[in-house]
């Protein structure tokens, strides 16, 4: 069964920290409007490097994020105005929820996780 959930956190890098750093982002799109050197940047700034570790290691925190879409393993992700909507198998979404619970243990309320109704 397919599940959907919303994850709210402060930054893209915090969200991506929920996943393995070696994971490749497929169908990756990004848009940010506050980059200090050029204002607007998109995924081309990574020169085709689409692993999570490439974004986590990038010297910018994406405070002006306006667009983010990617597929990470079995999960589809869309950034929707302050929250990341994830869609995937029940098992895959549950793994992300478990990771949220784990990381909130160290930094309470860093992430907010909410299942949303989804009908196929």
Beta-carbon contacts of 8 under 8 Å, excluding residues fewer than 6 positions away, are 82, 83, 84, 111, 112, 114
In which residue are the tokens 């309470």 written? 108
pLDDT in tens, 30-88: 999 998 888 899 999 999 889 999 999 999 999 999 999 999 999 999 999 899 999 99
Q: How far apart are CA 80 and CA 68, in angstroms?
A: 8
In the sheet that holds 2-8, the strands lie side by side as: 39-42, 26-35, 65-72, 75-80, 83-89, 2-8, 112-116
What are 93's two structure tokens? Answer: 């979404």
pLDDT in tens, 49-65: 899 999 999 999 999 99
What residues does each domain of the chain span? 2-116
- pLDDT value, residue 54: 95
pTM assigned to the model? 0.92
Pick 119 or 92 by higher pLDDT.
92
Q: How far apart are CA 55 and CA 110, in angstroms?
A: 19
pLDDT for 119 beyond 80: no
């Amino acid at each position: 069964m397919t599940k959907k959930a919303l994850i709210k956190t402060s930054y893209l890098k915090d969200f991506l920290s929920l996943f393995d750093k070696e994971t490749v982002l497929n169908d990756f799109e990004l848009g940010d409007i506050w980059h200090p050197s050029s204002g607007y940047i998109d995924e081309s700034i990574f020169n085709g490097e689409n692993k999570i570790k490439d974004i986590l290691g990038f010297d910018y925190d994406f405070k002006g994020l306006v667009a983010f879409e990617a597929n990470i393993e079995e999960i589809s992700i869309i950034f929707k105005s302050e929250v990341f909507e994830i869609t995937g198998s029940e098992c895959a979404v549950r793994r992300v929820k478990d990771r949220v619970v784990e990381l909130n243990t160290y930094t309470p309320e860093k992430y907010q996780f909410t299942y949303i109704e989804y009908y196929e």
